[in-house]
Copies of this chain bind each other. A is one copy, B any other.
C-alpha cells in the first residue's frame, strides 16, 4: 500500500517549517514552554520563532503574541504546550488561523493527559485529531516532544538542543528513551543525527508513515525505531519491508512481557501485542531488532557512520587478550558470521610487523598484537588486515592510555581507515575499553567516522547486525 504523496509533502513541510509558533510559550526557566524556545534558538534555524502567550510581551528576547491568530508571518508548524484540557480549544484557534491565512501544515501537541490517561483522555485525543485532520493539519503526538531536523534547524523538543549532524534518523514512541540515547551519545559525538521524532500517542502521524517518509529521505542512512505498540502492526511491517530494502531499520520493541505491556499502555496508550509475533515479523521484514538497550544504541550509530560489510568474513585484531577473547566468544556464536581466513602473505606481513610475543591468526581470524606495540604499528597492522580481500569487516580492541598517547593512536587509526578510498572502506568497530577515560581519543575517532564501543561482547553483536542487514539486502535485491 503506497502512502499518498500528499502525506510525504506535508511531513516535509513540518521538518522544513518556515515559521514555528509555540502556544503556551513560557518565560519561566525550566518549564517545557520555556525550554522549547531556548532549544529552538540554539539551532541554525533560518525561519521565524513565534512565542504565543496572552500574558507576556517578550520571551527570551522574542516578541510574544497574545494568540495564534495574531502571529504575522508564515506559520507552518505550531507547538502546543498547554494543560490537556486547553488543547482542543487551541486546536480550534489554529484551524481558524489556517482558514484565514492558509498556512499551518502541522501541530505538535506536547501535553500529556490523552489516550494514555483513561476514557476522558481518549475522547479528548479523538476530538483533537478530528478537528485538526479534518482541516488538513497533521498532528504529531499528543504526549510527545515533537520533531527535530538538524539540517533545517526545526526543533520543537524540550530535552535536546543543538546536535551534531549525521545519517541517523530516530522515531520513538518514548521521548525519554530516545532523548536518553541522544544525550548519552552527545558528549563524545557518538551519534550524528538527521531527523528526530518523538511520536507520543501517534493520534495521527505514526511510525508507519514516518518509516515510509524516512525511507525516501536521502540524508537518512539508518532509521532507529523505538516502539511500544501500534494498532495496525501489519501495516507497520509492510512499510518496514519496503523501506528495509533501501536502508536499515534498527528497532527496540518494549512491552515484551505482560507487565511491560501494561506499563506501555499507561505510557503511550498503546497495546503492545505478542512479542513473539513482532520478533518473527521484524525478522522477515529485514528489521534489525536489538535485544538490549546497549546493542540498540551501538547498532544504530554503527549503521549511521560505517560502510556496510560486503560479506560475512570478520577479523578480530586485539591488543588485549581478555576483551579479545570475550569478543571472539560472542562473534563465534553468531551463525551469520565467519571468521575471516586471511591470505598467507597477510600473515607473513603481520608476523614481520608485530613483536615476536604477538600471536598471529591463532585461532583463525584472530590476532593478538599484545601490549608491546606503538602508535605507528597500529596504523600499519590495521592497513595490512583491511587490505586483505578475504576480510569484510574488522573489530579492533585496545585499552590505550598508559603505554600510548590516545590522541596519536586515534589519529593513526583514522589514517589507516581513511587510507582506503571511500568506496573500498570496510566497517571497523573500535572497542576502547576505557569508556569516558579515553574521551579525547574517542572524539577523534567518532568525528572521523569510526564508532567507538565500550563492551567487547556488544561489538560482536553490532558486527553481526551489520552482516545480517547486508545479507538481507543482498537477498531481497536479487
Q: Hey, which bits of chain A sit against chain B, CB under 8 A?
A: 30, 32, 35, 84, 112-113, 116-117, 158-159, 172-181, 183-184, 186-188, 226, 228, 252, 254-260, 262-264, 266-268, 292-294, 319-326, 328-329, 332-333, 339, 357, 359, 362-363, 365-366, 368, 370-372, 399, 401-404, 433-438, 454-458
Contact = CB atoms under 8 A, between A and B. Distances in A.
A332 B117 contact: no
A457 B319 CA distance: 30
The winner among A158, A173, A294 for most chain B CB atoms within 10 A is A294
A435 B359 CA distance: 36
A328 B266 contact: no
Contact of A184 (B359, B371, B454): B454
A116 B368 CA distance: 12
A301 B401 CA distance: 23
A84 B172 CA distance: 55
A257 B316 CA distance: 15
**9 cross-chain pairs, A with B, having the tightest CB-CB distances, nearest first:** A174-B322, A180-B433, A267-B321, A176-B320, A177-B322, A260-B329, A184-B435, A262-B363, A259-B332
Given A112-B370, A260-B332, A177 B323 contact: yes
Contacts of A368: 263, 266-267
6 contacts: A32-B402, A117-B359, A181-B433, A183-B435, A252-B326, A259-B365
A264 B325 contact: yes
The winner among A188, A293, A403 for most chain B CB atoms within 10 A is A293
Given A266-B321, A321-B176, A433-B180, A329 B159 contact: no
A74 to B, nearest CB: 28
Nearest to A320: B176
Contacts of A454: 184
A436 B174 CA distance: 21
A409 B407 CA distance: 35
A455 B177 contact: no
B324 A267 contact: yes
Given A404-B30, A436-B184, A436-B187, A325 B293 contact: no
A112 B454 CA distance: 25
A455 B184 CA distance: 10
Contacts of A399: 159, 176, 179-180, 183
Contacts of A322: 172-178, 226, 228, 254, 267
A465 to B, nearest CB: 16
B113 A357 contact: yes
The winner among A326, A362, A370, A399 for most chain B CB atoms within 10 A is A326
Contacts of A365: 259
B184 A333 contact: no
